[in-house]
Amino acid sequence: MVKVGIVGGTGYTGVELLRLLAQHPQAQVAVITSRSEAGVRVDAMYPNLRGHYPDLAFSEPDVATLGACDVVFFATPHGVAHALAGDLLAAGTKVIDLSADFRLQDATEWAKWYGQPHGAPDLLPEAVYGLPEVNREAIKQARLIAVPGCYPTAAQLGLVPLLEAGLADATQLIADCKSGVSGAGRGASVGSLFSEAGESMKAYGVAGHRHLPEIRQGLRRAAGGEVGLTFVPHLTPMIRGIHATLYANVADQSVDLQALFEQRYASEPFVDVMPAGSHPETRSVRGANVCRIAVHRPQGGDLVVVLSVIDNLVKGASGQALQNMNILFGLDEQLGLSHAALLP
């Protein structure tokens, strides 16, 4: 039984961790912290958990208590894991960070996009990027895992097969991504109000979004060299879901793209390459730790269109974090993550 701690569990990735862990047969939540909600029962804040955690309340973050866990998840804004991860690792606790703190391997790049110095550059060399489909072996050995962002998960899983195979023109990639509003978190901001985000669609951050360097870093790894990427995120009037529409030039008309994708993900339990001609819907992954992908070559041209959908809170955050935990602790990778998506 893995003894689990969660730092900062009041946001959406926190409650989603709790929902998923409630079904996990080999993990138990020992502690969950929140400065603002210390003393409040988790099911008082999240009534969907009533009956599942009868004795669990938020507590003040405390390294000693957290350090007694086998693993600690950070479901926090950036900066928090920087401050605490080192102490926990020193205590022998594994760290799985859902925030952006250890996703970029270059501390300078991190500082540029997040507007503050990197708080734990010494830990960067051992931080493992937790995308199991490209990094499973490293994850097995890791102490500190950076769970990928939601957009980066959808975009990388869709483009990696083309880049690894050297088929796509890596200098002209486009990721036109659409996200549900929960991606903006549970913080009270005007832009995320029902009356602002509902019944409307807009792009945002076209000039530069923090997930751009993360996606680029992952694609570089796959391509084995520099990449040119245009990333346009859009806010979509739904709660959960990311739909990535990915464009890449693949001049080689002889390649069987469907077969390429199917082979690349043949042994991946959480990537579903759909039949040729499919259009995956985000609802087909709602609540489930799955990425569904379809690959198209419209009108037989050079431009290939990859459609990739995930639930931003599951495969794009908390589910992927548990997948990492399963790998890290030698458990069946699908443990606690095998339920079907909620449709309709």
DSSP summary character for residue 268: -
Whose Cβ is closer to a copy of itself: residue 69's or residue 197's?
A: 197
User: What sign for the dihedral angle of Cα 51, 54, 59, 64?
Assistant: negative
Q: Which residue shows structure tokens 């832009």?
A: 191
> Does residue 318 interact with a copy of itself by CB under 8 A?
no
Verify binding: residue 288, a copy of itself, rule CB under 8 A: yes
35 is an interface residue for a copy of itself by CB under 8 A: no
Contact flag: residue 186 with a copy of itself (CB under 8 A): yes
| Choices 83-91, 95-103, 117-125, 176-184; region in contact with a copy of itself by CB under 8 A | 176-184
Question: Does the footprint of a copy of itself cover residue 299 (CB under 8 A)?
Answer: yes
Binding of a copy of itself at residue 23 (CB under 8 A)?
yes
Residues 196-215 that bind a copy of itself (CB under 8 A): 196-204, 206-208
285 binding a copy of itself? (CB under 8 A):
yes
195 sits near a copy of itself (criterion: CB under 8 A):
yes
Cβ neighbours of 50 (radius 10 Å): 12
- 268 touches a copy of itself (CB under 8 A): no
Nearest alpha carbon to residue 128 among 141, 101, 140, 146: 146
* 282 interacts with a copy of itself by CB under 8 A: yes
- In three-state secondary structure terms, 30 is strand
Return the number of the residue (59 or 245) whose C-beta is nearest a copy of itself. 245
267 binds a copy of itself (CB under 8 A): no
Q: Rule CB under 8 A: is residue 40 a binding residue for a copy of itself?
A: no
Q: Residue 188, SS3?
A: coil
Vertex 200 angle, CA 196 and 201, to 5°: 115
Go through the chain and tell me how many residues it has. 344
Query: Where is 307: in which H helix or E strand?
Result: strand 303-310
DSSP state, 128?
E
Give the span between the Cα atoms of 193 and 197, in whole angstroms. Answer: 6
Task: Find the shortest distance in angstroms from Cβ 214 to a copy of itself.
Answer: 15
- Residue 46: which H helix or E strand, with range? none
Q: Which is nearer to a copy of itself, 119 or 158 (CB)?
A: 158
Q: Which is nearer to a copy of itself, 213 or 218 (CB)?
A: 213
Nearest by Cα to 18 from 127, 39, 44, 266: 44
Query: 80-109: which residues touch a copy of itself (CB under 8 A)?
Result: none
Pick 92 or 228: Cβ nearer a copy of itself: 228
57 belongs to the binding site for a copy of itself (CB under 8 A):
no
Site string for a copy of itself, 237-266 (x = CB under 8 A): xxxxx-x-x-x-------------------
CB of 215 to a copy of itself, least distance (A): 13
Three-state secondary structure call for residue 38: coil
Pairing of strands 71-74, 127-129: unpaired
Q: Where do runs of H (alpha helix) occur along 91-187? A: 107-114, 132-141, 150-164
Work out which of 36, 51, 253, 266 binds a copy of itself, going by CB under 8 A: 51
Residues annotated as catalytic (active site), given as ranges: 150
Nearest residue to 95 via CA among 6, 12, 217:
6
Cα–Cα distance, 328 to 338 (Å, whole number): 18
Does 17 engage in binding with a copy of itself (CB under 8 A)? no
Which residue from 190, 253, 254, 266 is in contact with a copy of itself, where contact means CB under 8 A? 190
* Residue 227 found at the interface with a copy of itself (CB under 8 A): no
Which one of 55-63, 120-128, 136-144, 234-242 is the stretch in contact with a copy of itself (CB under 8 A)? 234-242
CA distance 323 to 337: 8
